[in-house]
Structure 1
Amino acid sequence: MNTLSRVALGLLAAACCVASASALAQPYSPTGPLTRAQVVADLIAWRAAGYEPLDWLHYPENAQRAGAIVAQRRASGAMPQPAQ
């Protein structure tokens, strides 16, 4: 293996390391992680809006529709904002 191929292999390995480190980075959230109670309350709100987690046949549509309904209800004040 000549020097040029070793340098190229080293650069490729370094690029992979940088790419994987940035992929694992999570956005900063000043509120911190959600509690179990917050997640359960959110799921209850989504199910009340018509979301059925086991309905795989209509998955993207039913999740998007329920998400829009929950967001609309929270914006209108019909349902409390999640505690943060």
Structure 2
Amino acid sequence: MNTLPRVALGVLAGACWFASAAALAQPYDQSGPLTRAQVRADLIEWRQAGYDPMDWVNYPENAQRAGAIVAQRRASRAPGGAGGQMSQ
């Protein structure tokens, strides 16, 4: 057997092993999948923060700005957050 296919097979096997090991190293998200209502509420929150999904001209900037606003609002609503208010 030629050495080039063996080397290629070894590289492919190593790449697969590395990819699977990296995937297993990711923390498990225990929150599970979101419901449709949660996704809709999240979109409403982003739109209230100024995000327009139809604005392709200013796309990354408007999404980043709205994301920062949403994160700040959520942090202030969280228990022990900057606002100190408990969410119900």
The aligned residue for residue 54 of structure 1 is 54
TM (norm. structure 2) is: 0.70
Measured after TM superposition, the shift of residue 49 of structure 1 is 0.6
Between 31-40 and 5-14, the greater mean CA deviation after superposition: 5-14
Pairing 1:7–2:6 present? yes
Distance in 1 separating the partners of 2:47 and 2:40: 10
Measured after TM superposition, the shift of residue 14 of structure 1 is 0.9
Q: Which runs of 5+ in 2 are unaligned?
A: 78-82
Query: Cα gap change, 1:66/1:28 in structure 2, threshold over 3 Å: closer, same or farther?
Result: same
TM (norm. structure 1) is: 0.73
Q: Which runs of 5+ in 1 are unaligned?
A: none
Structure 1 residue identity aligned to 2:10: L
Structure 2 residue identity aligned to 1:11: G
Partner secondary structure for residue 10 of structure 1: helix
1:32-81 per-residue CA deviation (whole Å, 9 max, x = no partner) reads 11111111100000001100001111111101111111111222228x97
Structure 1 residue identity aligned to 2:5: R
Compute the RMSD of aligned alpha carbons.
2.6
The aligned residue for residue 66 of structure 1 is 66
Percent identity for Structure 1 against Structure 2: 58
Structure 1 residue identity aligned to 2:32: G
- The structure with higher relative contact order (CA 8 Å, sep 6+) is 1
